Structures are given as structure tokens and as C-alpha cells.
Structure 1
């Protein structure tokens, strides 16, 4: 039942937003009582915190799988992380929307762990970029901090407009973003 409540909340938060969704809306959609909700969650915010925690924890685990792969160079790791983020938005549509859009509804105390994990995800990208600089895969004067923010900005914002069932597939979008980030949009003049 806890999973059913969570999944229904994700659907409703994704459609209506966190503020506009009441606990009553969630339990009505499942045809259960508020008591059932409160058996599993102390509040709507605690539910939102758990949704965020599960989402970022799963992303970090999969990011670490990419990072730890000895078969990939640093460019391939960046491409893999871009693919991870885009396909996650495609595969987990409402969850991604809730994760990227509804964080602002968590109190500082509840957001602290989530913010640290988000920071860890970004810092992992910076480490890949620094390693790539040392190995000659990336420009020597690359600002790893701003580049990591840029990668996340380009990929994460796509939750707002990307239709994975539209003209461009998630794999195509991931490749387009990877090419744009890694090689730019200006033709090589050599």
C-alpha cells in the first residue's frame, strides 16, 4: 500500500503540483482512508521527501556504475550520464517532474539530505571532467564547475518540454546533447 500511495502521489503531484494536491486527493484516488495514508507517512511533505530521496539515490547508484566502468573513457562517461538523465526523464516522466519541480516545497531540514545527494551527483561530473582534462580528453582551460552546471542545466530542464514519444527519441536527444556539449555546434575548421 505504501508503494501505491507513493505512485498515486507522484501522478497527482506531476499533474496538479504538490501544493494543489491534498492528502484527500491521494486517498480518494486509491479509495482508502486518510488513516491508511498516515499509517505510512506522517505528512504530505514526508511523502515528498521520500519520493525525492528514492529518485536521487537511484540516480546516484546508476551514475556510480558509469563512473566505475573501466571500459569507458571520460567522454563516454559524460555521454553515459547525459543518457542516464535523459532516459530517466523519459522512463519516469511524472517522478522526474516531481523531482525537478517540487523540491521547493521541502523545508530546509527535509531538503538537506536531498540537496547533498544532488551536490554529490554534480561533483561526480566535475571529477570526470577533471580526470578528462588530465588525460587530454577535454580542454585544459575548461571550468569544470560551470561545465558540470551546464550539463545538468541542459539535461535536467528537458523534463519541462521533452516528449519521449514525440519526433525525437530519448536516445537521439541524449546523443544530440552529448555532441553539443562535447564538440559544440560550430564545424571544425581544420
Structure 2
């Protein structure tokens, strides 16, 4: 693994455990058994490192989300796939997810604005799925894509706080539960 990737990986673990503010560059270099010069060769500051972590995280999600949207299939299948994408990502990259959701407040204003735009694009892409689904009759016509997209992100993104990939539920099982809640609701239907 390249040194830049090692710095990033070790920093993610430290930021997740100690928090961004409580983790010093000295903590990072000591964990890697390298000098501060090595750190500064790759990153001009701890904030630049945090920005790179954020950009890589959201850009990867956006690319995979775009592949889902551009694939064939129903809007329902696309929405389920986006839910699976988010949950499987939290299961696989839990520490990165925690840093992404928890530590954005430490980015400079310009960097935070950049990341917010990318996050908004992810949300708008979900709205697009919902809008197309309502137009095609897959979803209710009166559906509010903006509010529904926020609801989808709310239940999926909060998962990073409590989900244990080695726990009772697998990521796929949890994604199916969430998909059912979003797509079918929680009411019972009287079948005649």
C-alpha cells in the first residue's frame, strides 16, 4: 500500500476513535512510525487530509449511484439498489462513514461547500428516481420526491451510528428491511 493511502487509512481510524479535533498530526505519524515530514510531503494540513477523505467517500458513492441510475430496470429496483448501496457501504467502510458524517464540520467553509454540493447531488439523484417512478406510475402520483429522498437518506445514513456488520443482521437483510419500509410502508393491507 502506498504511503499516502496508509496515512489516509490510519487517519480514518484515529479520527473515528478520537475525533478529528483530538487527533494530532503527531498521533498520525506515531501510529505509522514515520516523520512529520512524511505527512507534509503528501498533505499540507490535517484539514486537507480530511477533505480528501470526504471527496473520495462521496465521489465513490456518486459514481456507483450513477451506474444504478443509468442501468435498465424499474425505478423501484433502482431505489432498492441505492438503499443497498448505502447500507453495504456503511457495513464495508464503517469508519470512513463515521468520519464522513461526523467530521464535516471541521472542513473550511469552501471545502464544506464543495462537499455539500456533492451530497446534494446524491440526494437530487434519489429525487430523480422517485420523480420518474411517480411519472411512470410505479410510485404514487402525489409523492413528494424531495421529502421522500430526505426520508430515504435519513434512515439509511443514520445506520452508521449503530449497525454492526458482524451482528444479528447482514447488510443485505437490513437493506431489504429498509426497502420494504420505504416501498411498502408499515401498514397491513386487507386482501380480499
Q: After the TM superposition, which residues 94-113 of structure 1 pair with which residues of structure 2 at under 5 Å, given as runs?
A: 94-113=95-114
Give the corresponding residue for 1:17: 19
* Equivalent position of 2:7 in the other structure: 5
> Considering only aligned residues, what root-mean-square deviation do their CA atoms show, in Å?
0.7
**Counterpart-to-counterpart distance in 1, 2:111 and 2:140:** 39
State the SS of the aligned residue for 2:20.
coil
CA offset at residue 19 of structure 1?
0.9
SS in 2 for 1:171: helix
Query: What's the CA shift for 1:5?
Result: 0.3
Q: How does 1:23-102 map to 2 (within 5 A)?
A: 23-70=25-72, 72-102=73-103
Q: How far does residue 113 in structure 1 lie from its aligned partner after superposition?
A: 1.6
**Separation (CA, whole Å) in 2 of partners of 1:87 and 1:186:** 27
Runs of at least 4 residues off by over 6 Å = none
Question: Please, what TM-score do these two structures have when normalized by structure 1?
Answer: 0.98
Deviation at 1:114?
1.0
CA positional deviation for 1:93:
1.1
1:187 and 2:165 equivalent? Answer: no
1:155-183 deviation line (CA, Å, top 9, x unaligned) = 00100001111001100000000000000
In structure 2, distance between residues paired with 1:178 and 1:92: 21
Partner Cα separation in structure 2 for residue 93 and residue 58 of structure 1:
15
User: Which moved further from structure 2: 85-94 or 100-109?
Assistant: 100-109
Q: What is the deviation of 1:189?
A: 2.4
Q: How many residues align?
A: 189
